[in-house]
């Protein structure tokens, strides 16, 4: 009798758990597991959306790695963005976070002003920056010209398009600023006081007190920054389109990457292969490369011991 | 009062060390606040230039001028009169509004289970949620597109973007779960002692306490839909009647390729609602950013 009610109770609690999880369980199956398996399947098929898919083995894979002219430039750009853009964003975000913790007068106003650009919708922000950095008449080059400084071509020059995107990313550094601000305020005050008594300079206090305390957050910012770079899509695509001047209603004619493939990123290749060239098989190959990269860094984030996101107690 | 009483007891003249310390504090104040002003200029000037350009004549917007000679407020009326612009507004509100409601309703129970139930596979579930959160949407877009367009014939609408939100959003689940774990178990136990089942506990006890977390999730989701460009590009591009503001804005630039003044006015109109919402809900928003970032 006792075991019977116990079992019934356990079954009820299992049912209850499933009921609460059910929206996600369906979502996981339909929008994650099934399409992921399907992506692997299509990566081995020749398929243009009509007729039936034809098995082609690893043909799509060798096409993407050997013959598709956009793959390696996109991967090189991604590496550049990881090394330069992510680093700049973390350093700048930390700097702005530090600055905010030092500001004594009007801190609320400063914080709001620093944070606002992060909220600007990406398409709008990109349009604004293409205008601001427009080489001929844009305000930035006007000011640079007045100061007698060289005026680069920004979004129209392959050597300057990624630095221009980096400027846009630095403008939207508000998310990192808030995270670093919270971390900096959590550093125990006594440690600073002790260091000050020992006569440590400002730099030494930063190096030996601040940094060790916030290093997990720095790591978190770096890893999520890398993952965001894997997803970097809207800004480079819109910047390329707008700067090139080629925008039709449907955007089908525009080959991403302007100028000279310098703004290509991996997600844009999925779009280019799948929705412009209708080569769904090769698009799925790039999608799987993207998946592998994103998951590798997500695993870093979740490593159980010393992981940055603890999965639970 | 105390100040007046204490005044006669004047402190001894500051020593040389104290004077340098005070001077250093003043210098530091000046240095920090000048840096602050410089940074504020970097963050604010792009907005200022965009707004100024949006008020220029089309001729002047093509020059190097920074300040409008005549203030053309009519530019904004002209943007609203653009065919389609109001439709994009309506579509964006539908996508963002309905999507947000569906996301909150479907994500709360999942997050609650992950935060408060003990069951086998809980950690695995949470890890899968985080993986989904980090997954670039392009990874599964080919099968998803085929599913929505070929099997359900829904391309040219926003439904392929709205319907999935009824099945829990990974980011929202994660954020809410982080929030709900901070609610002490005692409250839930007390509710159960009073005879509440899990559902009633969730609705009567947990939800009122989770308001800040829910507000943060709703805001993030609203902004996500408002800003989304990839989704509408894939599913709605073939039908201008289904475009959203973020997607339509780009084609607006295409249609007015030399009218930077009008394009900047449209840009302001796409940015403004987000910034207005932020001012009304600043606290919830910043709380959300910190929750997902720091507390594990």
Position of tokens 């894997």? A230
Q: Identify the three-state secondary structure at position B256.
A: coil
**8 A C-beta contact, residue A262 and residue A161:** yes
DSSP class of B56: S
Position of tokens 């009820």? A12
DSSP class of A45: E
pLDDT tens readout for residues B279-296: 888 777 666 666 665 433
Interface subset of B 150-189, CB within 8 angstroms of A: 150, 164, 166-168, 173
**Cβ B39–A31 below 8 Å, yes or no?**
no
What is the model's pLDDT at position A304?
52
Residue B212 has pLDDT above 50, yes or no: yes
* CA dist., res. A55 & res. A42, Å (int): 9
**Which of B74, B58, B76, B56 is CA-nearest to residue B66?**
B56
* CA dist., res. B277 & res. B55, Å (int): 23
Give the confidence band of B3 by pLDDT, cuts at 50, 70, 90: very low
Mean pLDDT of all residues belonging to chain A? 89
Task: Report ipTM (2 d.p.).
Answer: 0.90
Domain count, chain A: 1
Residue B175 has pLDDT above 50, yes or no: yes
Please count the other Cβ atoms lying within 10 Å of the Cβ belonging to residue B26.
Answer: 9
**8 A C-beta contact, residue B33 and residue A105:** yes
Q: Which residue of B has its CA nearest to A220?
A: B293
What is the model's pLDDT at position A12?
85
Query: A84 touching B, CB under 8 A?
Result: no
Q: Identify the three-state secondary structure at position A54.
A: strand
**CATH ID of B82-293, from 1.20.1300.10, 1.10.3720.10, 2.140.10.10, 3.40.1350.10:** 1.10.3720.10
Please count the other Cβ atoms lying within 10 Å of the Cβ belonging to residue A243.
Answer: 24
Looking at per-residue confidence, does B22 or A89 come out higher? A89
Q: Rounded to a whole number, what is the distance in angstroms from the first to the last CA of chain B? A: 48
Q: Identify the three-state secondary structure at position A46.
A: strand
pLDDT tens readout for residues B176-207: 998 898 888 888 888 888 888 888 888 888 88
For the residues B132-155, what does the mean pLDDT come to? 93
For the CA atoms of chain A, what is the radius of gyration?
A: 25
Residue A18 has pLDDT above 80, yes or no: yes
Q: Identify the three-state secondary structure at position A55.
A: strand
Contacts of A96 in chain B (CB under 8 A): 39
- Which of B30, B34, B36 would you mutate first to test chain A, the one with the most A CBs within 10 A? B36
What is the model's pLDDT at position B182?
85
**Cβ A124–B270 below 8 Å, yes or no?**
yes
Give the confidence band of A130 by pLDDT, cuts at 50, 70, 90: very high
What is the model's pLDDT at position B255?
75
Q: Identify the three-state secondary structure at position B291.
A: helix
Question: Percentage of residues in chain B with pLDDT exceeding 70?
Answer: 91
Query: A115 touching B, CB under 8 A?
Result: yes
Every domain of chain B and the residues it spans: 2-54, 82-293
Question: Percentage of residues in chain B with pLDDT exceeding 90?
Answer: 51
Residue A25 in domain: yes
Residue A270 has pLDDT above 50, yes or no: yes
**8 A C-beta contact, residue B264 and residue B54:** yes
Query: A309 touching B, CB under 8 A?
Result: yes
**Cβ B110–A238 below 8 Å, yes or no?**
no
pTM of the model: 0.90
Residue A161 has pLDDT above 60, yes or no: yes
The domain containing residue A31 runs over which residues?
Answer: 2-42
Q: Which residue of A has its CA nearest to B271?
A: A120
pLDDT tens readout for residues A21-61: 999 999 999 999 999 999 999 999 999 888 899 999 999 99
DSSP string, B73-98: THHHHHHHHSTTHHHHHHHHHHHHHH
pLDDT tens readout for residues B8-66: 555 667 788 888 888 988 998 999 999 999 999 999 999 999 999 999 998 888 888 88
Burial A2-17 (b: 16+ CB within 10 A, else e): eeeeeeeeeeeeeebb
Looking at per-residue confidence, does B83 or A157 come out higher? A157
**8 A C-beta contact, residue A250 and residue A223:** no
Residue A221 in domain: no
């Amino acid at each position: 009798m006792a075991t019977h009610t116990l079992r019934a109770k356990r079954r009820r609690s299992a049912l209850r758990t499933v009921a609460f999880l059910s929206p996600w369980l369906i979502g996981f199956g339909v929008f994650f597991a099934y399409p992921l398996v399907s992506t692997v399947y299509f990566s081995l098929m020749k398929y243009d959306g009509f007729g039936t898919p034809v098995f082609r083995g690893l043909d799509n894979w060798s096409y993407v790695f050997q013959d598709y002219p956009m793959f390696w430039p996109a991967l090189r750009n991604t590496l550049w963005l990881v090394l330069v853009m992510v680093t700049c964003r973390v350093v700048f975000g930390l700097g702005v976070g530090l600055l905010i913790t030092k500001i004594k007068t009007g801190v609320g106003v400063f914080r709001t002003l620093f944070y606002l650009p992060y909220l600007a919708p990406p398409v709008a922000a990109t349009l604004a920056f293409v205008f601001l950095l427009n080489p001929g008449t844009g305000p930035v080059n006007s000011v640079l010209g007045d100061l007698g400084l060289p005026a680069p071509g920004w979004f129209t020059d392959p050597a300057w398009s990624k630095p221009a995107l980096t400027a846009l990313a630095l403008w939207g550094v508000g998310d990192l600023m808030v995270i670093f601000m919270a971390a900096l305020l959590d550093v125990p005050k006594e440690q600073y006081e002790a260091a000050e008594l020992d006569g440590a300079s400002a730099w030494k206090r930063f190096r030996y007190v601040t940094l060790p305390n916030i290093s997990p957050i720095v790591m978190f910012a770096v890893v999520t920054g890398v993952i965001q770079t894997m997803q970097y899509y809207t800004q480079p695509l819109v910047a390329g389109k707008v700067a090139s001047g080629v925008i039709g209603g449907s955007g089908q004619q525009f080959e991403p990457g302007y100028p000279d493939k310098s703004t290509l990123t991996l997600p844009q290749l999925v779009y280019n292969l799948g929705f412009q060239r209708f080569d769904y098989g090769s698009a799925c190959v790039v999608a799987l490369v993207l998946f592998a990269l994103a998951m590798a860094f997500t695993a870093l984030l979740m490593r159980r011991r010393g992981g940055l996101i603890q999965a639970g107690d | 009062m105390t100040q007046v009483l204490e005044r006669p007891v004047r402190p001894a003249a500051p020593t040389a060390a104290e004077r340098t310390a005070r001077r250093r504090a003043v210098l530091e104040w000046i240095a920090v606040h000048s840096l602050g002003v410089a940074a504020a200029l970097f963050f604010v000037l792009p907005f200022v230039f965009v707004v100024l350009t949006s008020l220029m004549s089309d001729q002047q917007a093509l020059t190097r001028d920074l300040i409008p000679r005549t203030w053309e407020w009519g530019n904004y009326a002209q943007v609203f009169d653009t065919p389609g612009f109001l439709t994009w507004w309506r579509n964006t509100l539908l996508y963002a509004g309905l999507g947000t409601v569906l996301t909150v309703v479907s994500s709360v129970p999942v997050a609650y289970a992950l935060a408060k139930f003990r069951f086998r596979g809980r950690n695995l579930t949470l890890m899968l949620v985080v993986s989904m959160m980090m997954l670039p949407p392009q990874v599964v877009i080919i099968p998803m597109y085929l599913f929505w367009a070929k099997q359900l014939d829904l391309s040219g609408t926003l439904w392929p973007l709205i319907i999935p939100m009824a099945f829990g959003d990974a980011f929202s689940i994660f954020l809410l779960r982080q929030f709900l774990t901070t609610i002490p178990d005692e409250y839930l136990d007390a509710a159960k002692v009073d005879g509440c089942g899990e559902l009633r506990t969730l609705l009567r006890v947990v939800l009122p306490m989770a308001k800040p977390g829910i507000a943060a999730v709703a805001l993030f989701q609203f902004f996500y839909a408002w800003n989304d460009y990839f989704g509408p590009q894939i599913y709605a591009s073939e039908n201008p009647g289904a475009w959203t503001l973020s997607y339509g804005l780009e084609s607006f630039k295409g249609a007015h390729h030399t009218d930077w003044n009008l394009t900047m006015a449209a840009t302001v109109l796409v940015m403004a609602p987000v910034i207005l919402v932020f001012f009304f809900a600043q606290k919830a928003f910043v709380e959300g950013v910190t929750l997902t970032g720091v507390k594990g």
